[in-house]
Chain A
């Protein structure tokens, strides 16, 4: 189904339910992996994914179509995931960075994590990047999202995103090298 048609159906009372199920089916996996890369744990990613779709459903009438539906949903997912981290960190009275470190540490005993030491190291390296650079890295490296789409989602120029990604790669490579030599 074309995005424009899907959007029309989502705003129509008769077709809304069917269109929403279609929307969930189309985007659930992509949005899940995007969220999972931010929050790390499966249970947290599941909660955030639910909240993301609920927000999409509740606000679809106010979506003006200034950007692609896909980018709009990614933006909601990103905000939901970042807000989740901030809320949990506040509840635990620790900083966002400390919460992220804790989430990475918990991966060692997570049944839904099959990575080994190098994946843990990679996660630690990503955690050293500034928040936005982490998003850029995750979206490009693991999800291979086009810079054009990323530009719409993160509301940043393509040039700036390319530069940010390259810097992120350099920092991560350097982090991994230093960690190996220690």
Chain B
């Protein structure tokens, strides 16, 4: 990649990120996510003891996944189609800019937005957990005889994996946007694909029971085409490393799996966008 390319990609990425920060919908989404994580504070009224930390984590991670997925899909579709519909893409692509540079710049801008969102949420959740854990340690010292239950390093490491999951969703949305004509179509189809990816493990389980080799092959291809998001559901293993922990190799494996899908879907987006008439 030439220095010129890098400069153009970062300029487009920076502009996309700044444009995202100005979108009211995105700001509302972030505020809602923050409010939901902070509302986990009300769990203390149920007096769960040390289990409260797991409730807060589940609730917080659920909120992050819910709002992060919406953000990944809607922000990608919105920021892509605003360029097409307002014809700013026409002005940019009439410059000596390759189409892959445009896609890469847009994607990196969106990924920067998702990074800020995820790290903000994880930071808030870490703050909440730390505060409650401190209070619970004083109240139930027996439960914490072996020290803190929450691994904050694990929490942030899990945040990175969650970010990669959002990165895959954004890359899928970018691919769909690269050939579709409307924002709405892109959002709807992307949500369907997201649900398929979330439930893909069901197909994987069923695959083992299929006798017909043709059908088995088809299911295998589908399972390869849609990333298995179930792989990313390792929050408890990483944040509460008790008897069961996630090996570092497994975490790196999930990381690599995410990166491969991000690159693959962005490459498909570039291929589809190359033939698109602006």
The answer on A and B forming one complex is no
B residues in contact (CB < 8 Å) with A: none
Q: Which residues of A contact B (CB under 8 A)?
A: none
